[in-house]
Structure 1
Amino acid sequence: MKIAKTSRILTPIEDWHQLPNGKSLLKQTQQRIDSYLPRCFGYHILKLGRLSSLLNTSESSISHQINCASGGEGIGLLADLHQLPLQTSSVDLCILAHELDFSSDPHQLLREIDRVLTLDGTLIISGYNPISLFGLRSLLKPKHSQTARLFLPNRVLDWLHLLGFEVKQKQHFDFLSGEFNGSFSSCIESIGQRYTPYLCSVYFIVAKKQCTPMTPVKSAFQFKKPRLAGRTVVTRSR
């Protein structure tokens, strides 16, 4: 298993169209975002990275939305995603689209998200699956030309569980991972998503931050136990 942290400088993707099948990928991701937004409530939405900021969340009941990235147009907060200049427990919903694929320290990125999320805050993550057609093509490229670092969805789930998140939803899509048109390719795509989801190129995870109190809450009611110490029990025979 490869180490999560790396010293390599990775350049994040600036636009969805730079990804293979980017137009369809954006559409499918947006559909899943739209289906989950009505379940999210609060005061602040944080969209981390350029791809996340291009997702439309205007239909959400949460009015204040922040686009955060290290650069680019339409970014309201310019910052290093691994060191967010935000108050602890201040964000209700965080969206992270394909940023783990281009992060030099994904553990630190998830720790920062955990820090800024409120209790019961929601985290939505999407990323590439290395066990897929996209992952196979990336593996065949020369090492110096590889720009993304792909992590298994189950490994990402382990990281979330260690941070105390409860996974509410996990989906896989984009089985063909390419520009295909026609009913036949749509049929293959639906069959792949239904029967071999773990070979799809993209995973989509929704997790909720949980908090376990440090001091257990004890019940005030207790049964009174009879005190037998120091007493002599006398038995009488008839």
Structure 2
Amino acid sequence: MNARTPRGLLTGLLRAVRTYPRRSPLTLGYVVLLLTGHVWVGSLLAADRADALREHLSTNLDNLADHPVTALVGSALLYDGTLTEILTTGFGGTLITLGLGVCCCLAWTERRFGSLRAAAVFLGGHVLATLLTALVILLALRYGWYPESVRTASDYGISYGAQTVLALATLAVPRRARLPWAALVVGWPLSGDGEWPGPLPDFTTVGHLLAAALGFALAAAVAVTAARRRRAGASAPVPADR
């Protein structure tokens, strides 16, 4: 059956759903953890305690200086988007970060490179983009490009890690679609209503762009390594028959 026919596409989709737990167990567990935490913090925890938890796990400058490991790890366990307000721009972010980024691209990364490497890519993108963003914030504060209040601003969630695997997944799309895909990855953080307080966009946009750059760099490294292996295999001498 041709996979491009509607019936073939449906069959492929059902097969992907059926094999998802076996092929992407880390991603599935992470999604369940995120959804459970989202419901717990948003609906079951008292409002003041939920706010205190979010404030404690925010990766702002003050928290990174005081409890960096707790902030960096904990912020990746809290999903800050909406799951119910489907007519808002926030739900669009949910579709991109949680839906496309985690459920699809992290799952693809896990199938392609294994669970441990997928976790390293996602967490590495989250941590590195956060720390690089902190450096940008310090520079911006020095030159007065950001207000001092940015030191304690709320910044938590999965979007930096999701942005990294979104960029890495450029390798998964057909060649003719890679440029539009890259434009989507870079463009969606710039399409929000955030204001530019100076020569730089708001720090969350900076973080998303840095995370995308990390993912694109990793994708390029993987592509170059694969090309070298193909050339080495093609130039290897064929053993003579005995």
TM value normalised by structure 1: 0.27
Q: Which has the higher contact order (CA 8 A, sep 6+)?
A: 2
Give the structure with the larger helix fraction: 2
Give the structure with the larger strand fraction: 1
TM value normalised by structure 2: 0.27
Q: Which one has the largest radius of gyration?
A: 1
